[in-house]
Amino acid sequence: MQKAVCCLAALLTTLCATAAHATSWELKPGGDNRLEFTTTFEQTPVTGVFKDFRVRFDFDPQKPGSNKLNVSIRISSADMANADINQAIAGKDWFDFVRYPEAVFDAGEILDAPGAARYLARGTLELKGRRQPLVLPFSWKPEERRMEGEFVTRRSIFDIGTGEWKSSDAVGDAVTVRFRVQLRELP
């Protein structure tokens, strides 16, 4: 009996130590991963998705200063479920796939936020050659290996929608970005 109690205590100690150490995570391929953006066209919401993106998350609850989040997005994977719109957003007035093939969010500071398992990633979003500071609110549930979040930005600060599309009369300036990703622990 005493041996069983000692084994159980050792197992619990190991599990607690493992849960509190620094862990690196990356996007788990397949699964229920989604990165979407929503704006308005003539005041009607329209949503698109990025089908190809990577996530790297380094997290140690004991050392908040060492936490990092990096998201890389292949811009040409944008899909608005309409061939004509997809062709238009590939051009220079919109995402300009040829000159700017990738967008990157890089955060070197992860802060606690109000609410259970809520955090703020403070970093920079680089999109279409423009770098803008961004605070990204998200939830992180390591037991489910799931990260979710949402933020609002403006397309104009990234020079998306130029020429005849510069005005926000037809296409709204506000863009809501939502994500839900499943991560896997790196060895």
Q: Tell me the C-alpha to C-alpha distance, in Å, between residue 143 and each of 67, 69, 73, 178.
A: 18, 18, 26, 21
123-156 per-position pLDDT tens digit? 999 999 999 999 999 999 999 999 999 999 999 9
2-40 per-position pLDDT tens digit? 554 444 444 444 444 444 567 999 999 987 899 999 999
Q: How many CB atoms lie within 10 A of CB 168?
A: 15
Residue 158: the pLDDT is 97
Q: What whole-number percentage of the chain has pLDDT above 70?
A: 89
35-63 per-position pLDDT tens digit? 999 999 999 999 999 999 999 999 988 88
pLDDT confidence tier of residue 178, bands split at 50, 70 and 90? very high
CA distance 61 to 165: 44
70-111 per-position pLDDT tens digit? 999 999 999 999 999 999 999 999 999 999 999 999 999 999
- Closest among 177, 183, 181, 182 to 49, alpha carbons compared: 177
Domain assignments of the chain as residue spans, ordered by start: 21-185
DSSP summary character for residue 171? B
Residue 63: the pLDDT is 83
pLDDT confidence tier of residue 186, bands split at 50, 70 and 90? very high
CA distance 140 to 120: 10
According to the CATH classification, is domain 21-185 in 2.40.128.110?
yes
User: Do the beta carbons of residue 157 and residue 118 sit within 8 Å?
Assistant: no
Residue 116: the pLDDT is 76
Q: Which two tokens stand for residue 168?
A: 């926000």
